[in-house]
């Protein structure tokens, strides 16, 4: 088990690199390293990678957007109001043109939003948005969204890059994207070409961004060699910190206090994993506290709960699982369950799908050891390969229990799900009484926990490397860093 301080073997090199900022060959073009594959820069479809979401947000616009500090700010809508009962959101659209060159109108925005909502069908995001009952165009540049039940997080959802309003597949964003050798180039679009008032201060105020998808090792070297001042897209899979981090390296490292899911989903219901009690046996055999020690990662909190306590409306009556049993007792129970199920015969080999990266190496070593303790052999496979268990590493789009429940809803296409949990979650969404809603949410989480279709491990981690100073970048709970603020030249 790796114990020495590691952050892809590059924090030591970073410490030796000094603090001077790099200089791009073209001062009007900022190189940005993104830990991703080249294909991840694609902005098509509705199931986007984190890199694809960043490109989509830069090249398109929705009604609202996120700024660097995770606040909702105007985009196509320059202002809005919410009715007192929270059942209607009315947006006043800005003056200007859409991607097709025509005037922005309520009718066009209505049609585009309806099309976007229809395209999301079958995704967890569609479930997050199912409270939208009607989208209406009002006079001129006014759009109304009516709800079937209150959605306090509607603006957070409308700011998601997937909710961009497109005209025949095109968006009227601040940048145009084109593929280039070694990555992709985002070039800023002047305001007047977006049918916005000309700004005499605009010229030279926004720089181009050259996005360089890289492996974590290559991105670290690029940062160390001063080829870039910023690395985005780091996850726990490519990060395993040691017990101590040098003060100089710590200055470059930015860890977002993200909330979401980090664990294993059961992707095959064949054989023994078709039994909920055996799936629970796997979950109880994992020593999460030992995993936290192995990772030695600041901000990583182990959990056995699907909805962690930090979520705004997490049920207060649900605690961590198996708190009354030590690891030896838990593993003895798990072993007995598998022995009974196989009648003392051969135990299955489990295929665990994980991405590449030192953090994932540490995770697999822990899982392999823990499962071996109950007699089960674990084999690591590619994240895209056929597997019995697959890593889930998603940051919540909004900090409420609904998001977590929707990730495992039967309508989202999960291999294993709980119809009972779905029913209670639907009751909670429709309930206006806070006490009754909390009761339904607690029941939904309890039913989902009993299904044991997901094995929670802890919170997701998002990290970046940023050389000081870097205007336009800020750590935030969403772990999402829009590119537009980074492109702005400091005043």
Q: Give per-residue pLDDT as tens, 34-81.
A: 999 999 998 887 889 999 999 999 999 999 999 999 999 999 999 999
Q: What ranges in 60-178 are assigned the alpha helix state H?
A: 106-119, 124-128, 154-158
CATH fold group of domain 260-458: Dipeptide-binding Protein; domain 3 (3.10.105)
Choice among 109-118, 192-201, 475-484 with the minimum mean pLDDT: 192-201
> Which among 56, 50, 91 has a CA at the least distance from the CA of 162?
56
pLDDT in tens, 206-232: 999 999 999 888 888 888 888 999 999
pLDDT at 490 over 60: yes
Measure the CA–CA gap between 2 and 16, rounded to whole angstroms: 23
Instruction: State whether CATH 3.90.76.10 applies to domain 61-172.
Output: yes
Stretch(es) of the chain classified as CATH 3.90.76.10: 61-172
Report DSSP state, residue 226.
T
Q: pLDDT tens-digit profile of 412-433?
A: 888 789 999 999 999 999 888 9
| Mean pLDDT in residue range 141-147 | 96
Q: Which DSSP letter does residue 409 get?
A: -
Name the DSSP class of 307: S
Q: Calculate mean pLDDT across residues 316-336.
A: 93
pLDDT at site 95: 81
User: Is residue 112 a contact partner of residue 165, using CB atoms and an 8 Å limit?
Assistant: yes
41 vs 250, residue with greater confidence:
41
385 pLDDT band, cuts 50/70/90, is confident
- Give the Cα separation of 146 and 83 in Å (integer): 10
Tokens 């066009």, located at residue:
108
Domain with CATH 3.10.105.10 in the chain: 260-458
- Residues with Cβ within 8 Å of 374's Cβ and at least 6 positions away in sequence, in order, are 281, 285, 331, 334, 335, 338
Model confidence, pTM? 0.89
Q: How would residue 205 be classed by pLDDT, with cut points 50, 70 and 90?
A: confident
Residue 26 confidence (pLDDT) above 60: no
Cα 364 off chain centre by: 21
Amino acid 27: pLDDT: 59
pLDDT over 50 at 23, yes or no: no
Q: Provide the token pair at 366.
A: 């822990």
- Average pLDDT over every residue of 361-369: 96
pLDDT at 382: 93
More confident residue, 58 or 201: 58
Q: pLDDT confidence of 194, banded at 50, 70, 90?
A: confident
pLDDT tens-digit map of 162-176: 999 987 666 778 999
pLDDT in tens, 275-317: 999 999 999 999 999 999 998 887 789 999 999 888 988 888 7
């Amino acid at each position: 088990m790796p114990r020495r301080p590691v952050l892809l073997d590059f924090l030591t090199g970073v410490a030796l690199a000094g603090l001077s900022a790099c200089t791009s060959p073209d001062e009007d073009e900022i190189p940005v390293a993104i830990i991703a594959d080249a294909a991840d820069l694609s902005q098509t479809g509705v199931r986007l990678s984190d890199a694809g979401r960043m490109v989509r947000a830069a090249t398109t616009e929705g009604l609202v957007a996120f700024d660097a500090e995770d606040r909702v700010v105007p985009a196509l809508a320059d202002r809005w109001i919410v009715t007192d009962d929270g059942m209607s959101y009315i947006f006043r659209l800005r003056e200007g043109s859409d991607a097709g060159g025509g005037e922005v109108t309520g009718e066009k925005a209505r049609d585009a939003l309806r099309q976007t909502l229809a395209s999301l069908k079958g995704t967890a995001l569609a479930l997050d948005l199912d409270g939208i009952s009607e989208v209406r165009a009002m006079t001129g540049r006014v759009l109304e969204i009516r709800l079937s039940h209150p959605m306090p997080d509607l603006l957070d959802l409308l700011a998601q890059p997937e909710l961009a309003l497109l005209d025949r597949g095109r968006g009227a964003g601040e940048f145009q994207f084109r593929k280039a050798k070694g990555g992709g180039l985002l070039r800023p679009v002047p305001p007047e070409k977006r049918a916005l008032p000309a700004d005499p201060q605009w010229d030279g105020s926004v720089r181009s961004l050259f996005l360089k998808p890289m492996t974590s090792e290559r991105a670290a070297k690029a940062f160390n060699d001063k080829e870039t001042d910023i690395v985005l897209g780091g996850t726990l899979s490519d990060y395993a910190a040691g017990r101590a981090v040098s003060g100089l390296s710590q200055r470059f490292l930015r860890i977002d206090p993200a909330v979401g899911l980090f664990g294993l989903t059961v992707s095959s219901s064949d054989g023994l994993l078709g039994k909920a009690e055996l799936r629970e046996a796997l979950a109880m055999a994992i020593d999460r506290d030992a995993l936290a020690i192995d990772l030695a990662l600041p901000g990583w909190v182990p959990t056995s709960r699907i909805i962690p306590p930090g979520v705004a409306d997490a049920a207060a009556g649900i605690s961590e699982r198996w708190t009354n049993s030590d690891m030896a007792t838990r593993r003895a129970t798990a072993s007995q369950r598998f022995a009974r199920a196989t009648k003392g015969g051969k135990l299955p080999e489990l295929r665990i799908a994980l991405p590449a990266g030192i953090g994932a190496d540490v995770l697999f070593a822990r899982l392999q050891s823990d499962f071996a303790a109950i007699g089960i052999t674990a084999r690591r496979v590619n994240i895209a390969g056929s597997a019995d268990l697959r890593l889930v590493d998603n940051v919540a789009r909004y900090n409420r229990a609904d998001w977590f429940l929707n990730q495992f809803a039967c309508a989202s296409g999960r291999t294993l799900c709980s119809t009972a949990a779905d029913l209670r979650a639907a009751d909670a969404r429709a309930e206006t009484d806070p006490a009754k809603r909390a009761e339904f949410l607690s029941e939904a989480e309890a039913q989902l926990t009993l299904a044991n279709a997901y094995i929670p491990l802890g919170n997701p981690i998002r990290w970046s490397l940023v050389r000081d100073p870097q205007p336009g970048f800020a750590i935030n709970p969403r772990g999402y860093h829009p590119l537009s603020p980074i492109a702005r030249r400091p005043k």
